Each structure stands twice: as C-alpha cells, then as structure tokens.
Structure 1
Amino acid sequence: MNEQIPHPMTPQDCLVAIMVAISASDENIRTAELVKIQAAVNMLPVFADYDIDRMERVSQTVFDLFEQEEGLDALFGLIRDNLPERLNETAYALACDVAAADGKLAETELRLLEEIRYELNIDRLHAAAIERGARARHVV
C-alpha cells in the first residue's frame, strides 16, 4: 500500500470500504454495484459532507488489503476502530444493497455479509429485516 488513507478513516470512509469490499468479494465488480455505491454516496445524508475524491483511495486500500492473507481481518480492524456503533446497521444495509444490486448473490458475498453481521454485532432479527428490505428493493 503505497498511498494510505490518512488515519483515522472517517466513518464515511468505513461505509465506502464496506460497500467496495462486498462488491469485490466475488472478484467481479459489476456496473450495477458501482452505480449503487455511487448513488449511495451522492444521495444519502450520512455522506453530505464527504469528500468524494477519497473514494478512490478507500477503494484502493480495500483492494490492497484483499491481496493480503489477513487483509479482511485488517479491514474489519479499521472499521471497528473508526465506524461509530450508531452506523453499524447503516453499514450492513449498504452492504446488502450493493450485494443485491446485480440481482444475484454469490456464495462469497453471502459469506462476507455473514462476517459483516458478526463483526458489526448486528442483531439477527434486525439483519433479517435489513436483508428483506434490500431484496424487496432489488427484485427483478
């Protein structure tokens, strides 16, 4: 990683990192997923003051971490350190929306969603409601 994000990552950086991670988890970043990430950053109030130029650096950090053996653990460490607990469900909802954006969920995406649920301590009932909402929004 030659160009690291100035530490600490902002909460918004963490949200972007989670969306990029779920998109990249199946090693095939689809246009629908990129459009979903861009729309979230452009439209959601949590990103109102976000410097959109940081997206590329955050994305590169995720890609660099995914190339390392313990990269996912390192990513979750950064997120745990920098994402306020009040945004945990937001992060999970964004991950679900990106995963569902292309109309199909790969096994790797499902496993990463499970890991995100665990790492962010998302209550199972809340997770089910978030997942159901994402499914409803992306039905074909």
Structure 2
Amino acid sequence: MPDTSSLSLSAQDCLVALMIAVSASDEDIRTAELVKIESALNLLPVFSGYDNDRVATISKTVFDLFEQEDGLDALFGLIREALPERLNETAYALACDVAAADGTLDEAELRLLEEIRYELNIDRLHAAAIERGARARHLT
C-alpha cells in the first residue's frame, strides 16, 4: 500500500483528488471529464494560486490508492484530514460536475458520489440541489 502518512494534501489537492477519483471510478477517464477538471483549475476562485503541476502527483496518488483494497477509505481519510468543512459542498459540486461532464452517469460514478456525500456529510437536500445544478449545466 502506498505510504500516505507522509503525504500532505492542501485543501485544493483534496478537491483535485475527488475530481480525479470520480473520473477514474468507472475505469474510463474521458476527455470531457479531463476538460472539466482543467477548466475548474483555471477558472474557479478556490484554485487561485494552485500549482497545476501538483495534478500529476495527486492523480498518481489516487490511482495508487484505487489499486489497494482499502484505498478509497485511505483517500477519504486524507481528505477528512485536509479539507476544511466549509469546502465540503464545493468538493461535492466539483465531483458532480466531473461525473456529469460526459453526459452519462454510470453505476460506479453514482456509487462514488453517494460515498462522497456520506463522507463529507452533505445534507440530502443540499446534495439534491447540487446534483440538479450539475445536471442542468451539462444538458445538451
């Protein structure tokens, strides 16, 4: 198992990790999802000053964890440690946007979104509003 004890994530790293995790959850990282992550990094105020070179490191960490039996739990442990509660809904919104980016939500993405909702303690009503917004933004 990768040594996550020495890995120190910033709040922004946590957001990136969740977006990558959602994209990779169905084992098929689509271009639309990568474009969504890149545009979030370039346009959203929460990523102001973020070193985009960290994306490769965070991606590798997520992929390494996904290869482990308890990797998702380890990822959520890292995120719980580093993500301020005030960014929980932001994290969920970004995850929903990545999931919706390619126009389809498969079972693996839906399960991971449910797990993110639970781990980040997102109120069900707030989650529904966030999900509806993501759906509306990605209609064709």
Please tell me the TM-score bracket, short chain as reference. Answer: over 0.9
The answer to whether the aligner puts 1:110 opposite 2:78 as a matched pair is no
- Provide the residue aligned with 2:17 in structure 1: 17
| C-alpha RMSD over aligned residues | 1.6
Q: Note if contact 1:5-1:57 (Cα within 8 Å) is conserved in structure 2.
A: no
- Provide the residue aligned with 2:37 in structure 1: 37
- Provide the residue aligned with 1:54 in structure 2: 54
The superposition leaves residues 104-135 of structure 1 with CA deviations (integer Å, 9 ceiling, x where unpaired) of 00100000000000000000000000000000
Shift of 1:82: 0.2
- The change in CA–CA distance for 1:61 and 1:48 in structure 2 (over 3 A counts) is same
- The change in CA–CA distance for 1:112 and 1:43 in structure 2 (over 3 A counts) is same
Q: TM-score, normalised by structure 2?
A: 0.96
The answer to whether the aligner puts 1:120 opposite 2:120 as a matched pair is yes
Q: Note if contact 1:5-1:61 (Cα within 8 Å) is conserved in structure 2.
A: no
The superposition leaves residues 49-99 of structure 1 with CA deviations (integer Å, 9 ceiling, x where unpaired) of 101100000000000000000000000000000000000000000000000
- Provide the residue aligned with 1:135 in structure 2: 135
Runs of 4+ in 1 over 3 A off after TM superposition: 1-7
The percent of aligned pairs where both chains have the same amino acid is 76
In structure 2, runs of 5+ residues without a counterpart are none
The superposition leaves residues 1-37 of structure 1 with CA deviations (integer Å, 9 ceiling, x where unpaired) of 7797963200000000000000000000000000000
| Equivalent pairs, count | 140
Q: Which amino acid aligns with 2:26?
A: D
